[in-house]
């Protein structure tokens, strides 16, 4: 990796510190941590991790980093116990971490951003659907963001993200489908040097609505037709119920779903922690582990760091 990436420590009362410590041991360590040094030291002691933490400033030089030190850009946060109940008390701290990371990106000090898990229902209070939408708003890239769940064998992208099921149909548009596919296609061609094959799913079971109007005929099929004219390798609409069984048969690289759980549920069943969440369509690439805050196992040294390790290593592929 030629440039540094930043890892936002995320929700302070979670498994974030544990997977950060484990990831530091398992990767090339070309990253900085944005978070509270006092809290990390407190949690390090609780988890019995022997890692030297080194405070750095925002004008850091990655070439001067020592491999035996974890480099942390400090954000003040006072907490007397290493792990407490998740609440809204840490929201200001988390937002400060994000603001600092975004400034580093704007000043071209970091190449990309990883955020450890946060409890978004505690952080955003309905203002944003999730981190994807929050960061997009910060970069003034609203409606350009694309969520991609990535694995070496298959990736998926939901057209709509964290919205109620009864609002999905109204939020499916030809513009969104074309934008998602074009953005992912460009990313794959630039970073992986391949022309990916897309499988676009229908919305209704077996692509059949039983009424005079169907999203497949009104929106999805015309979108696929337009994408083919743009010389993008795309098939569909594929019946959602069989898509994850036959994706190998059709040599599909990316499945485009119409809503969040349509693609994330089977994807997580297939790959579990062997996947990462990538946000495209921003001035930088943002990645996060594909799991939650692990409230039930925090402080127990039971957290699996695989997804965060994959997140850190992902930047070695594209940098």
Phi first, then psi: give them for residue 264, nearest 5 degrees.
-75, -35
Is residue 210 pLDDT above 90, yes or no?
no
Q: Are residues 215 and 312 in the same domain?
A: no
Mean pLDDT of 17-42: 92
Q: Check if the beta carbon of residue 151 is closer than 8 Å to that of residue 275.
A: yes
Is residue 54 pLDDT above 60, yes or no?
yes
Strands (E), 142-225: 146-150, 155-158, 198-201
| Structural domain harbouring 319 | 1-142+281-319
Is residue 1 pLDDT above 60, yes or no?
no
Average pLDDT, the chain: 90
Q: Are residues 286 and 272 in the same domain?
A: no
Q: Are residues 69 and 180 in the same domain?
A: no
Distance CA 290, CA 221 (A): 30
Q: Are residues 221 and 315 in the same domain?
A: no
Q: Are residues 92 and 160 in the same domain?
A: no
Q: What percent of the chain stands above pLDDT 90?
A: 60
Domain of residue 285, CATH code = 3.40.718.10
Mean pLDDT of 202-206: 92
Q: Are residues 36 and 100 in the same domain?
A: yes
| 3-18 confidence digits (pLDDT tens) | 789 999 989 999 999 9
Domain count, the chain: 2
pLDDT of residue 157: 97
Give the number of other Cβ atoms within 10 Å of residue 91's Cβ.
16
């Amino acid at each position: 990796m030629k440039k540094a990436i930043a890892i936002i420590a995320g929700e302070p009362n979670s498994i974030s510190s544990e997977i950060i410590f484990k990831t530091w041991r398992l990767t090339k360590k070309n990253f900085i941590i944005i978070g509270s040094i006092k809290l990390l030291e407190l949690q390090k002691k609780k988890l019995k991790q022997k890692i030297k933490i080194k405070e750095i400033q925002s004008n850091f030089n990655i070439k001067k980093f020592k491999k035996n030190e974890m480099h942390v850009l400090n954000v003040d946060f006072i907490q007397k116990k290493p792990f407490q109940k998740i609440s809204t008390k840490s929201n200001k701290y988390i937002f400060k971490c994000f603001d600092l990371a975004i400034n580093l990106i704007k000043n071209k000090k970091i190449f990309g951003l990883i955020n450890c898990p946060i409890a978004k229902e505690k952080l955003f209070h309905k203002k944003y659907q999730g981190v994807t939408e929050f960061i997009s708003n910060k970069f003034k890239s609203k409606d350009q963001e694309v969520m991609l769940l990535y694995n070496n064998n298959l990736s998926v992208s939901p057209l709509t993200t964290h919205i109620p099921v009864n609002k999905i149909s109204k939020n499916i548009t030809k513009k969104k489908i074309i934008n998602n596919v074009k953005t992912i296609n460009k990313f794959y061609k630039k970073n992986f040097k391949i022309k990916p094959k897309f499988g676009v799913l229908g919305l209704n079971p077996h692509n059949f609505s039983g009424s005079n109007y169907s999203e497949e005929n009104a929106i999805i099929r015309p979108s696929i037709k337009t994408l083919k004219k743009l010389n993008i390798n795309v098939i569909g609409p594929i019946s959602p119920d069989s898509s994850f069984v036959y994706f190998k048969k059709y040599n599909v690289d990316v499945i485009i779903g119409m809503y969040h759980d349509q693609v994330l549920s089977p994807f997580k069943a297939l790959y579990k922690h062997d996947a990462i969440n990538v946000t495209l369509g921003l001035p930088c690439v943002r990645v996060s582990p594909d799991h939650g805050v692990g409230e039930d196992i925090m402080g127990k040294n039971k957290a699996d760091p695989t997804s965060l390790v994959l997140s850190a290593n992902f930047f070695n592929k594209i940098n």
